[in-house]
Structure 1
Amino acid sequence: MQLYNTLSAEERAELIEQAGENRLTLSFYAYAKIENPQQFRDDLFLAWDALGALGRTYVAHEGINAQMSVPASKFDAFRDTLEQYDFMKGIRLNVAVEQDDLSFLKLTVKVRNKIVADGLNDATFDVTNKGIHLKAKEFNTILEDPNTVVVDFRNHYESEVGHFVGAITPDVDTFRESLPIIKDQLEDIKEEKNLVMYCTGGIRCEKASAYFKHHGFKNVYQLEGGIIEYTRQVKAEGLESKFIGKNFVFDHRLGERITDDIISNCHQCGKPCDTHVNCANEACHLLFIQCDECAEQMHGCCSDECLDIIQLPVEEQKRLRQGVQKGNLVFKKGRSEALKFQKERAATGDIKAVKVSAVTQIRKKQVVRKVLIGIAQHYFTKVGVGQFIVDKEINVGDKIAIVGPTTGDERLTIEKMMVNGAEVSVANKGDKMTMELSFRIRKNDQLYKIID
């Protein structure tokens, strides 16, 4: 009985491509009393693995929290696996605003002490005494009430690229940090104001609303389904979006665009930008915001030190990062001293948004220098090889650029390439071409030929 992944991410990506089937990215959660989380976990893994479902799920005695990628044709069957449990009958599945067939490449179901690390002692208050749930239209209405205080219960790297207008956005790295900060900040108004809270999918507010009611806040509300469900309702009902910018997500996309407003800046040059990347130095992997120009200049790195490292032979890079633990830095963007344009954070304040069209002008000079000739399909980590579907002829010796939201803008000269397992000097339209790369690429990265 297989209860764990046996395929690598690269092998899974290949199978997804061969299947040629659209997938849905979705999330859901439910608080419930689960007697045997390990058995629950194993049952879910077996049911989901049979459907080709992928993603990251945490289960605990208190419930389930999941972010998944499911074949579109198996959506109903996937829902059936949930509704076998009474506490998940009729459960809301938050479907992503933007779809990506490779949002998740492994099925991970883990047993945890809690489904969200909130740092709370649940025995000290009634976790079922939650705030009033608001749909998008109701949420928009209450935001117009001058007696309302709206709080973003996400982390600083999430709210920096997108949030509701006028929201309090705590400068915190974790959810548990925000609870006492907000409690102390709003102590004097807890009996008079409407405390309205939101997060990505709603799960953080489920516990937070009960926590604040326990501490004497009289009028507590929460956005039902979080930003994801709010956006769906706004589009379906033709409402004005009070959320501006991007919604940060925790799969490889790192963000879904909600409106054309850009409210953040590149951490390296200060230009308007809301593209999150992870540092190209695998031993660093710091999450930060980087524009196309800085990505080109820094080759996707966050610092000169990391830039020096990625130019070393791959084996030397692996040797240097052996035993290095950087997991606690991955989402602490803006914390590195190497990033010179860290945004000044304030709890509230005027939002100076720049429209996407304006930022496009900044990047125009790069567009006219390149011709699109292909699209990335896979990156095979173990051998450092990238795979592309070629749309126009490409030759050994051509200067190329590989561009993507996470990859950045990498420049190189083709020294060697393969088509159908054989070394070639020319790849033609329709060929599946591979070549060795010293950096990781993602599916749908664009392959350009540099023409000047």
Structure 2
Amino acid sequence: MQLYNTLSAEERAQLIDEAGKDRLTLSFYAYAKIENPKKFRDDLFIAWNALDALGRIYVAHEGINAQMSIPADHFEEFRNTLEVYDFMKGIRLNVAVEQDNHSFLKLTIKVRNKIVADGLNDETFDVTNRGIHLKAKEFNNLLEDPNTIVVDFRNHYESEVGHFEGAITPDVENFRESLPIINEQLQDYKEDKNLLMYCTGGIRCEKASAYFKHQGFKNVYQLEGGIIEYTRQIKEENIESKFIGKNFVFDHRLGERITDDIISQCHQCGKPCDNHTNCANDACHLLFIQCDECKAAMENTCSSECLETIHLPVETQIELRKGLQVGNKIFRKGRSESLKFKISGDMANKPLAKIDPKNVSKKSKVKKIYLGKAEHYYTKSQIAQFLIEKNELAVGDEILILGPTTGEEHVTITNLFVDGQPSDKAQEQDQITFVLPFKVRPSDKIYKLEKIEENA
């Protein structure tokens, strides 16, 4: 009985590309009493693995919290796997605003003490006594009420790139920190103000609304389905968006655009920008906002120290990392003295810039064609080496290099060497090299991008 992943993320990505089928990124949660979370976890893994469902899921005695990617043609079968549990019958599935077939590349289901780390003792208050759920139009109407206080229950790196107009945006790194801070800030408004709260998908507000009612707040409301469901409703019903900017999401996309407004700055130069990146130094992995110019100049790193580090021999980098925590354990979210233009706490309500909607639509009409994988990067000469596993590549082609640390990098091929010799074209099983100003890793994949002709 298979209860674990047998493929690496890279192998899974290749299979997804070869299948050529669209996938849906979605999220859902449910609070319920689960007697045996371990058995519940194993049953879900068996059912979802058979459907090629992927994602990051937490289960606990108190319920389930899931962010997932599923094949679009298996959507109803996936829903059926939820419907067998009474507490998930008719559950709302928050489908992502923007779709990406690689949003999740493994099926990870973990048993936790809680599905959201809130630091609360649930025995001390009624967790079912929640606030009033509001749909998008109702939420907008209450926002207009001068007697309303709206609070963002997300973290500083989420609210920095997008939030509701006039929202209180606590300078916190996790949900646990936000509860006592907000409670103290709003002590004088328990009786007469409308407390309006929101988060990404609604799960944090489920617990927070009950907590604040227990703390004595009389008029507590929450955005049903969070920002994800709000966005779906405003688009379907042609409602004005009171949310400005991007909605941060917890997969490799790191954001879904809700409006054309850019309300944040590149943390390195101050230019209007709302694209997150992870520092390319494997001993850092700082999450921060970086514009395209700084991305090229700093080679995906957050500081001059990290830039120097990635150019050291691999053996030296490994030696420097010895004794340090790695991976998600050191994944810091935007806290560094190197980030000169980092803003936390009181966020801007006015856009610093607008994106060009034409560029967004063009970007979505591009087909990715899998070519192969990275083999080596020669740091001193800035030469990248790839193996072409299928299809062809030619000088002048636009390519995408994609990797968990490298992120997404778009490059146009201006020179090409095949098996060490200059060439205009490479084909299956060719080993290619070309100049690249940033480091690539063996886990990186290379794709050719082709524009899809629009229907007249």
Give the TM bin, normalised by the shorter chain: 0.7 to 0.9
The alignment status of 1:203 with 2:200, answered yes or no, reads no
Instruction: Summarize the alignment of residues 202-221 of structure 1 with structure 2, pairs less than 5 Å apart.
Output: 202-221=202-221
Give CA deviations for 1:72-110 in whole Å, capped at 9, x if unaligned.
Answer: 010100000001000000000000000000100000000
C-alpha separation between the residues in 2 aligned to 1:373 and 1:434?
Answer: 23
Give CA deviations for 1:363-403 in whole Å, capped at 9, x if unaligned.
Answer: xxxxxxxxx998666656899965678786229xx999969
Q: Flag the 1:182–1:6 CA change in 2: closer, same or farther, 3 A.
A: same
Give CA deviations for 1:239-273 in whole Å, capped at 9, x if unaligned.
Answer: 00110100000000000011110000000000000
Matched with 1:28 is 28
C-alpha separation between the residues in 1 aligned to 2:387 and 2:69?
Answer: 23
> What is the CA-CA distance between 1:447 and the residue it aligns to?
7.6
CA RMSD in angstroms comes to: 3.3
Matched with 1:93 is 93
Matched with 1:354 is 353
C-alpha separation between the residues in 1 aligned to 2:155 and 2:272?
Answer: 20
Query: Secondary structure of the equivalent of 1:324?
Result: coil
Structure 1 stretches lacking a partner, 5+ long:
361-371
> What is the CA-CA distance between 1:354 and the residue it aligns to?
1.2
- Tell me, yes or no, if the aligned pair for 2:158 and 2:247 is still in contact at 8 Å: yes
- Tell me, yes or no, if the aligned pair for 1:390 and 1:428 is still in contact at 8 Å: no
Query: Secondary structure of the equivalent of 2:356?
Result: helix
Q: Flag the 1:302–1:375 CA change in 2: closer, same or farther, 3 A.
A: farther
The alignment status of 1:115 with 2:115, answered yes or no, reads yes
Query: Secondary structure of the equivalent of 2:50?
Result: helix
The alignment status of 1:156 with 2:153, answered yes or no, reads no
Matched with 1:75 is 75
Instruction: Summarize the alignment of residues 10-409 of structure 1 with structure 2, pairs less than 5 Å apart.
Output: 10-326=10-326, 327-333=328-334, 335-343=335-343, 345-347=344-346, 350-357=349-356, 379=373, 386=386, 393-394=394-395, 406-407=407-408
Structure 2 stretches lacking a partner, 5+ long:
360-365, 378-383, 451-456
Q: Flag the 1:13–1:349 CA change in 2: closer, same or farther, 3 A.
A: closer
C-alpha separation between the residues in 2 aligned to 1:74 and 1:15?
Answer: 16
Q: Flag the 1:162–1:379 CA change in 2: closer, same or farther, 3 A.
A: farther
> What is the CA-CA distance between 1:414 and the residue it aligns to?
6.3
C-alpha separation between the residues in 1 aligned to 2:93 and 2:137?
Answer: 19
Amino acid at match of 1:428: K
Query: Secondary structure of the equivalent of 2:140?
Result: helix
Taking structure 2 as the reference length, the TM-score comes to: 0.85
Taking structure 1 as the reference length, the TM-score comes to: 0.86
C-alpha separation between the residues in 2 aligned to 1:182 and 1:300?
Answer: 35
> What is the CA-CA distance between 1:19 and the residue it aligns to?
1.1
> What is the CA-CA distance between 1:337 and the residue it aligns to?
1.1
Instruction: Summarize the alignment of residues 2-13 of structure 1 with structure 2, pairs less than 5 Å apart.
Output: 2-13=2-13
Amino acid at match of 2:353: V
> What is the CA-CA distance between 1:439 and the residue it aligns to?
2.0
C-alpha separation between the residues in 2 aligned to 1:426 and 1:141?
Answer: 62
- How many residues are matched? 429
Amino acid at match of 1:136: A
> What is the CA-CA distance between 1:314 and the residue it aligns to?
3.0
C-alpha separation between the residues in 1 aligned to 2:121 and 2:60?
Answer: 15
Q: Flag the 1:180–1:230 CA change in 2: closer, same or farther, 3 A.
A: same
- Tell me, yes or no, if the aligned pair for 2:398 and 2:410 is still in contact at 8 Å: no
Give CA deviations for 1:167-192 in whole Å, capped at 9, x if unaligned.
Answer: 00001000010000000000001110
Matched with 2:453 is none
